A and B are shown apart, each in its own frame.
Chain A
């Protein structure tokens, strides 16, 4: 048993270290200059600078703030709207083509309009993140609601559930097992989009750090920002996966 656990810990580490080794070799013998393709050592030194002078923390917090704001907006609007549209068949007929039309438009295509409408600062970035997670959430909520076993509604009718009780005790818990993966995926998308959104219109965030470091020709900082994005992405995913542990949701995976 212990050998098994050790393997589970060591194997990913071995893969990770090999990757760093390949990186180091590629940087040294690849023919690029040190400033164009810094090796792990240069990136580590840069990372230390960014951490100690607080830059990395400041930019990470700025990015996280935008993701949180945009994502919460998407959840707060997307989930209830999806529940309404999933239940209200006529509304689905009315709005389905509009949703399907807007959905494939990349949030990045909205950048010019977002900047015109919301100006410079956090607002356009938050708007783009909202757009990026809103549609996946909306569509999967609608699908989840329309797939609820009709039996549950009959049980609700049989026990004289009010409309509010039907929503809170039937619809909401019934869709949770299929909405949780959608929450996870859309948070991932939001984190992808924030970096792009921060390359325009703002002066903070990890996306801005990448852009700014490129302008200063500090490729080591660019790599450091990428590493930070990856690490924070893992953490966000881990956090949202904790939701799957809720007992009243676990029936969905049986």
Chain B
């Protein structure tokens, strides 16, 4: 399962620079100005959907996903994953971070095994870890430390670490930021393949429009802050996708570019 319902979600941040918050007072009673980041978001993600969230920089994409994952609280509204209200982080929904979230003092093997600390027999565990390391093409690098790997390999290791616990939902916050162009292309392919193989709900934040259109089953566009859902496109195009061959996809691409106000980039 991996059915996500977001109901009437709002998030406000207190502008601390204009007025210092007094100790012991909570955010609600604070008199300073607030910035609304999320403005009544209602969304539902189906089980196994690969959703890409697009929006202008600083619009609140990361905030939304952090709330869904349980890392932040919302100001109002609720998130349900498989019918259960989200109240904190859990290994049922794993976050793949914007920057490298591998623990640098552990080898690839130990990092991938993090989520399996308490699970099953040692032999079973070993087999599972190896299986996922093989699945992301890191065979032979099990005993390397993260800083000995390239950026793309680090992301793949993190992907393996997330997938090995068999999470219901996978959050990816610009996971390919900082990778070179070719590695990005390869990582897109890998995520698409992973998704077709494991069919997990994936919520993927990016600001790369082409990336979203190549990968996603569904693309959601946000407005500038306070973020509202501006457009919601279902993409029923087969993989691999090619803008040059598929006129419908190309038209959608133009729509998305103009919706985000960069039509001149085409």
**Contact surface of A with B, Cβ cutoff 8 Å:** 151-152, 154-155, 157-160, 165, 169-170, 173-174, 176, 247-251, 254
A165 to B264: give the CA distance in the assembly, Å: 52
Q: Which residue of A lies closest to B167 (CB)?
A: A158
A170 to B104: give the CA distance in the assembly, Å: 10
A151, A165, A170: the one contacting B99 at CB < 8 Å is: A151
Chain A neighbourhood of B95, CB < 8 A: 154, 158
Chain B neighbourhood of A254, CB < 8 A: 147
The segment from B84-92, B209-217, B224-232, B237-245 found at the interface with A is B84-92
Residue pairs across A and B with CB atoms within 8 Å: the count is 53
Contact A159 B145 (CB under 8 A): no
Q: Which residue of B lies closest to A251 (CB)?
A: B104
Contact B91 A248 (CB under 8 A): no
A173 to B146: give the CA distance in the assembly, Å: 14
B33 to chain A, nearest CB (A): 25
Chain A neighbourhood of B94, CB < 8 A: 158-159
Contact A170 B103 (CB under 8 A): yes
Contact A249 B105 (CB under 8 A): yes
Among B71, B88, B101, B104, max chain A CB count under 10 A is at B104
A181 to chain B, nearest CB (A): 16
Chain A neighbourhood of B141, CB < 8 A: none
Known: A157-B71, A159-B115. A251 touches B105 (CB 8 A): yes
A157 to chain B, nearest CB (A): 4
B257 CB–A CB distance under 8 Å: no
Chain A neighbourhood of B88, CB < 8 A: 157
B77 to chain A, nearest CB (A): 22
Chain A neighbourhood of B114, CB < 8 A: 155, 159
A127 to B177: give the CA distance in the assembly, Å: 53
B120 to chain A, nearest CB (A): 15
Q: Which residue of A lies closest to B145 (CB)?
A: A251
B202 to chain A, nearest CB (A): 16
Contact B89 A157 (CB under 8 A): yes
Q: Which residue of B lies closest to A253 (CB)?
A: B147
Contact B103 A250 (CB under 8 A): no
Contact B105 A248 (CB under 8 A): yes
Contact B71 A159 (CB under 8 A): no
B106 CB–A CB distance under 8 Å: yes
A250 to B147: give the CA distance in the assembly, Å: 9
Chain B neighbourhood of A247, CB < 8 A: 145
Other than the given A154-B71, A165-B117, A173-B105, 15 more pairs (CB < 8 A) read A151-B101, A152-B103, A154-B101, A155-B103, A155-B114, A157-B89, A158-B90, A158-B95, A159-B114, A170-B103, A248-B105, A248-B145, A250-B145, A250-B147, A254-B147
A251 to B111: give the CA distance in the assembly, Å: 14
Chain A neighbourhood of B99, CB < 8 A: 151
A158 to B90: give the CA distance in the assembly, Å: 5
A154 to B115: give the CA distance in the assembly, Å: 13
A157 to B104: give the CA distance in the assembly, Å: 17
Chain B neighbourhood of A151, CB < 8 A: 97, 99, 101
A-B residue pairs in contact (CB < 8 Å), sample of 25: A151-B99, A152-B103, A154-B71, A154-B95, A155-B103, A157-B71, A157-B89, A158-B89, A158-B90, A158-B94, A158-B95, A159-B91, A159-B94, A159-B114, A159-B115, A160-B89, A160-B90, A160-B91, A165-B117, A173-B103, A174-B105, A176-B105, A249-B105, A251-B104, A251-B147
A25 to B105: give the CA distance in the assembly, Å: 54
B37 CB–A CB distance under 8 Å: no
Known: A154-B71, A254-B147. A159 touches B165 (CB 8 A): yes
Chain A neighbourhood of B106, CB < 8 A: 173, 248
B154 to chain A, nearest CB (A): 12
Among B71, B89, B115, max chain A CB count under 10 A is at B89
